Amino acid sequence: ADPGSMRRLRRGVRRLDDADDPAGQPDSLTSLTRAILDPEVGARYRRRLTETEAMPLARVLDVVGAAQRVHDARRGIEETLWAAWQATGLERRWAASAVRGGPAGEQADRDLDAVMAMFESAADFTDTLPAAGPAGFVHYLSQLQIPRDSRTATAATESVTVLSAHAAVGREWEVVAVAGVQDGLWPSLRSRGGVLATGQLVDILDGMDADAVDTVARGATALADERRLFLVACTRARSRLLVTAVEDGSGDASPSRFITELADLIGDPDDPAESARAEVRLDPGVDRVLSLPSLVATLRSAVIAGADEPDAPRTRAAARLLAELADSDIPGAHPRDWFGLAAPSTDAPLWTPESGPLTLSPSNVDALTRCSLRWVLERNGGRDGDGTPALTGSLVHTLVQAVAGQLDPAEVTAALRDIWERVDTGAGWYSARELERAEGMLGHFREWLRISRSELEEVGVELPVDATIPADPAAGPDELEVRLRGRVDRLETDAEGRPVVVDVKTSKTPITKADADEHAQMAAYQVALAHGGVPQFGDTPPGGARLVYVSTANRNSGAAERVQSPLTPELLDEWIGVVRRAARASVGPTYSATPNPGCVHCTLTTSCPAQIPGKAVTDD
């Protein structure tokens, strides 16, 4: 089951456990284990969970039940495994995926190989210990430290060994191909050691001052390691060595420096007339891989290359073969599956005048001013699932309201820890660090709240803001009426009684003070307040906005704070124009890809024509 299905199942199990024993501390994994081991418990959970929640558990129970029935009939381990395998229903799905090829097909191949290896292990185990049961076989597999050594005599066959350079140490072959020797991949000079900084730990154990070893020295060490590894790979060949790299001419892909060094080694130093580079033959030709996807790609290339001469024999033959493959439902053979040929599915805008005022939230305004393409993609499924940082932010925002309601700090912390135990927050050490950070954010907010009472007075928490900006007749008939609607984290009043927007941020790095005045989300809230977004303030001009970064402590204000000044009438008109432009950008059907500092963290680069990974497949 995918992680989302497992989360739904575990939430459902915890819900039922809480209902059965409100005073207990249920562990959903323990409950699921009991459900799998005890048919009565499993059946009870299956009846009480919703169909969506119970789906992963139902599949496991069906597999276990099928195996149990065969085992109860005193059949052998192999038959028991076969019954379980048939009950999974994975055979057809994996086999079909393997035939289609591609990354998913490769994974299906590996999965099927693993199943075959399991059945081979079961056969060998049964031959060795005929009286042993499934529990003994499971124990045997769990104790294996190295891959099982097959006792079956097999004839030597022609084959290709695919392995890493590290795994090739101490072995030799007649022909060796070292593929993908690209700059940036080989040598790979990225920082070693990961989150535990093992490289620095080794330096300390060697008696070196880790801080004194600069980045250049570490890079030189990494380069030497990579060069040795490359030479290890190349010296595995007895007769022939093939080293491949790609150079696309655009600078995006270029051969590694190691290829030049290898060419220098191959050259004859006693013959000046011999060019070392000439000894390294760069063959632009690429042999076709013997697979259906490769065959389809070759035929498609032939058809497209011969588009100007459709009656040429090669073009007609390729088209005829593609048609036969398409009739057999081979993926990619039919032109409807070819990228760049299909027309847009629709050119209808997302909004029409008949829909009423175009509604945006202040955060939408901020996103649209940065990049309208990212905005529309994220609104339509392009956003990643919420990870631990997003979960932390949601919890902190929720508990900040409790803090503002004068709830006892100990109760708020206890509530945070209780919720934290019930959700999946990753590895134990990472979860503990994020929990500590969340508790720190609550403490920083409490301190900010205490200090800011000398300047601000609370009006409300999670207060709705709703204002309409009428269309400007002078701007023409295409001008839109825009409705700004959202919820402000906190609304305060300053000493002059003006409304002040406070937005609580959980990101680790505050923006600059200059960027705060250009913050579109806060400015949009001020625009909404100026247009009566909160009825109790009427036409009272806004008193500015504040961004409170609770991740960062501040001695003077409790938490790092960025202030957006109150909008003057001139600035108010400018920001109204920004809101209207954002509204027009949201209508579609076309959206602009705008490079901006947020591109560094964008997860949609493969769909963005402004980024190299998102370059259209039909571009030259």
Tell me if 447 is assigned to some domain.
no
Tell me if 38 is assigned to some domain.
yes
* pLDDT bucket at 187, cuts 50 / 70 / 90: confident
Same structural domain for residues 202 and 120?
Answer: no
Residue 16 has pLDDT above 60, yes or no: yes
Same structural domain for residues 459 and 593?
Answer: yes
- The per-residue pLDDT for 323 is 92
In order of 94, 295, 332, 412, the CA distances from 337 in angstroms are 22, 15, 5, 54
Report the distance separating Cα 239 and Cα 258, nearest Å.
20
Over residues 120-131, the pLDDT tens digits come to 888 888 887 777
- The per-residue pLDDT for 563 is 92
**501 bridge partner residues:** 491, 545
* pLDDT bucket at 413, cuts 50 / 70 / 90: confident
Tell me if 150 is assigned to some domain.
no
- The per-residue pLDDT for 336 is 83
Same structural domain for residues 199 and 301?
Answer: no
Specify the CATH number for the domain of residue 472: 3.90.320
Report the distance separating Cα 76 and Cα 70, nearest Å.
8
Same structural domain for residues 119 and 192?
Answer: no
Same structural domain for residues 71 and 178?
Answer: no
Tell me if 413 is assigned to some domain.
no
Q: What percent of the chain has pLDDT over 70?
A: 83
Tell me if 435 is assigned to some domain.
no
Report the distance separating Cα 349 and Cα 324, nearest Å.
39
Over residues 211-236, the pLDDT tens digits come to 555 555 666 777 888 888 888 898 89
* pLDDT bucket at 273, cuts 50 / 70 / 90: very low
Residue carrying structure tokens 């609580």: 504
* pLDDT bucket at 619, cuts 50 / 70 / 90: low
Same structural domain for residues 106 and 173?
Answer: no
Burial of 373 (0-12, 13-18, 19+ CB in 10 A): buried
Residue 280 has pLDDT above 60, yes or no: no
Same structural domain for residues 325 and 358?
Answer: no
* pLDDT bucket at 523, cuts 50 / 70 / 90: very high
* pLDDT bucket at 526, cuts 50 / 70 / 90: very high
Tell me if 348 is assigned to some domain.
no
The token duo for 250 is 């655009």
Number of domains in the chain: 4
Q: Are 379 and 408 in contact (CB under 8 A)?
A: no
Tell me if 284 is assigned to some domain.
no
Q: Are 499 and 459 in contact (CB under 8 A)?
A: yes
- The per-residue pLDDT for 190 is 65
* pLDDT bucket at 26, cuts 50 / 70 / 90: low
- The per-residue pLDDT for 527 is 92
- The per-residue pLDDT for 278 is 41
Strands 558-564, 545-554: pairing is: antiparallel
Same structural domain for residues 110 and 197?
Answer: no
Q: What percent of the chain has pLDDT over 90?
A: 13
Over residues 232-252, the pLDDT tens digits come to 898 899 889 999 888 766 666
Q: Are 46 and 61 in contact (CB under 8 A)?
A: yes
What is the rounded average pLDDT of the residues 176-187?
86
Tell me if 248 is assigned to some domain.
yes
Boundary-marking domain end, from 110, 132, 154: 132
Same structural domain for residues 369 and 479?
Answer: yes
Strands 499-505, 545-554: pairing is: parallel
Task: List, in sequence order, the alpha helices (H) in 405-479.
Answer: 409-422, 428-452
Same structural domain for residues 563 and 501?
Answer: yes
Same structural domain for residues 360 and 470?
Answer: yes
Averaged pLDDT of the chain: 81
The token duo for 469 is 């900006």
What is the rounded average pLDDT of the residues 288-316?
81
Over residues 32-63, the pLDDT tens digits come to 888 888 888 888 888 888 888 888 888 888 88
Residue 488 DSSP label: E
Amino acid symbol at 92: R
- The per-residue pLDDT for 272 is 46
Specify the CATH number for the domain of residue 271: 3.30.160.800
- The per-residue pLDDT for 276 is 39
Range(s) of the domain holding residue 232 = 166-279
Same structural domain for residues 172 and 236?
Answer: yes
Q: Are 616 and 609 in contact (CB under 8 A)?
A: yes
138 vs 406, residue with greater confidence: 138
Over residues 455-507, the pLDDT tens digits come to 888 888 888 999 998 887 776 666 788 899 999 988 999 988 999 999 988 88
What SS3 class is residue 510? Answer: coil
- The per-residue pLDDT for 156 is 53
